């Protein structure tokens, strides 16, 4: 886009450009929401890039890749056990609740796709959440490949889980770097129907999620980003609403 995005800060409730931190949707609108780690930041869960991409001194690539799993399963399970613990101690925030509320109003005209593996959207009341990068509270056998609910913590070599049916290793049901996100066809099909793409709290650095805004632009869907700083793919958005998720979302659909 040649002119670049229109930016509005929190003070711009009605700026000279006529931009409001308020989104008016018509009965014809279909809203596609993509969330990232930033929406859970105010619930106390660390973002990836915000913490320098490090966990206990390890780069994310050392704990969130198939190679990491091959090299050190215990390390990988310690990382995800810690994240299970952190997420279960966190509570949904006003931004999660705002999205659950708009889903109630829009019904089938609303679609929530998250890169987050926590369950804060569900705990805020969202009914249908597409976790494109998997779920923290599911695991799967590397051989049987069927995900199952699992909230257990595996923090020692002795406690690493194996499949009850075939004794193969059980891994987190998480999409690691280098793996394909879940049900991309559904995402593309739903985005195709959307008239508005709202992206919240993601750095725009991990594909294919970061590419959804480009697809939306090709089909002339309105694209809006919400976050305290511009994402890497900021040039692709029509509008950027600068502010945290809890500052912007609760009043966005008023």
Which active-site residues does the annotation give? 133
Shortest approach of ligand APR to residue 218 CB, angstroms? 22
Interface residue with ligand APR among 36, 45, 119, 126 (CB under 6 A) is 36
Binding status of residue 201 toward ligand APR by CB under 6 A: yes
Look up residue 180 and give its DSSP letter. Answer: P
Q: Taking CB under 6 A as the rule, does residue 205 contact ligand APR? A: yes
Question: Between residue 56 and residue 75, which ones bind ligand APR under the rule CB under 6 A?
Answer: 60
Nearer to ligand APR, 34 or 196 (CB): 34
Tell me the window of 10-18, 30-38, 135-143, 186-194 that interacts with ligand APR (CB under 6 A).
30-38
CB 223 within 8 A of CB 238: yes
The interaxial angle of helices 94-106 and 245-252, nearest 10 deg, is: 20
Site residue total, ligand APR (CB under 6 A): 24
When binding is defined by CB under 6 A, the residue of 21, 62, 135, 203 that contacts ligand APR is 203
User: At 6, which helix (H) or strand (E)?
Assistant: strand 6-8
Q: Which is nearer to ligand APR, 51 or 159 (CB)?
A: 51
Q: Which of 21, 43, 62, 115 binds ligand APR (CB under 6 A)?
A: 115
Contact 49, 216 (CB under 8 A): no
Q: Which residues, other chains included, contact 224 with Cβ-Cβ below 8 Å and sequence gap of 6+?
A: 23, 196, 197, 198, 199, 237, 238, 239, 240, 241
Q: What is the DSSP string of 95-159?
A: HHHHHHHHHHHHGGGEEEEES--SSHHHHHT-S-EEETTEEEEEEEETTT--EEE------SGGG
- Could you tell me if 190 and 216 are in contact, meaning their C-beta atoms sit under 8 angstroms apart? no
Q: Rule CB under 6 A: is residue 228 a binding residue for ligand APR? A: yes
* 181 binds ligand APR, rule: CB under 6 A: no
251 forms part of the interface with ligand APR (CB under 6 A): no
CB 184, min distance to ligand APR, A: 14
Residue in 227, 236, 237, 241 binding ligand APR, rule: CB under 6 A: 227
Answer whether 62's CB lies under 8 Å from 225's CB. Answer: no
Task: Say if CB 100 and CB 126 are below 8 A apart.
Answer: yes
- Say whether residue 43 binds ligand APR (CB under 6 A): no
CB of 102 to ligand APR, least distance (A): 17
* DSSP symbol at 195: S
- For the segment 229-248, give every residue that binds ligand APR (CB under 6 A): 229, 231, 244-245
Q: Please state the closest distance from residue 237 (CB atom) to ligand APR, in A.
A: 13
Q: How far is the CB of 29 from ligand APR (least distance, A)?
A: 23
Half-sphere exposure of 229 (CA within 13 A, CB side): 6
Contact footprint for ligand APR (CB under 6 A) = 36-39, 41-42, 47-50, 60, 115, 133, 201-203, 205-206, 227-229, 231, 244-245
């Amino acid at each position: 886009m040649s002119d670049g995005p229109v930016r509005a800060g929190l003070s711009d409730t009605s700026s000279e450009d006529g931009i409001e931190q308020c989104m008016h949707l018509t009965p014809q609108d279909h809203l596609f929401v993509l969330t990232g780690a930033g929406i859970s930041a105010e619930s106390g869960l660390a973002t990836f890039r915000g913490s320098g991409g490090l966990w206990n001194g390890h780069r994310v690539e050392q704990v969130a890749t198939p190679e990491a799993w091959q090299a050190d399963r215990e390390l990988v399970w310690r990382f995800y056990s810690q994240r299970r613990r952190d997420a279960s101690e966190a509570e949904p925030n006003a931004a999660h609740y705002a999205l659950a509320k708009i889903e109630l109003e829009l019904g089938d005209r609303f679609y929530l796709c998250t890169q987050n593996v926590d369950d804060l959207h569900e705990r805020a009341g969202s009914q249908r959440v597409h976790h494109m990068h998997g779920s923290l509270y599911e695991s799967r056998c590397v051989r049987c490949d069927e995900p199952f609910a699992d909230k257990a913590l595996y923090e020692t070599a002795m406690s690493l889980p194996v499949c009850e049916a075939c004794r193969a290793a059980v891994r987190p049901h998480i999409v690691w770097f280098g793996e394909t996100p879940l049900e991309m066809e559904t995402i593309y099909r739903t985005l195709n129907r959307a008239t508005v793409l709202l992206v919240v709290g993601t750095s725009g650095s991990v594909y294919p999620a970061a590419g959804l805004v480009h697809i939306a632009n090709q089909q002339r869907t309105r694209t809006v980003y919400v976050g305290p700083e511009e994402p890497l793919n900021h040039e692709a958005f029509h509008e950027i609403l600068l502010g945290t998720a809890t500052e912007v979302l609760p009043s966005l659909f008023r």
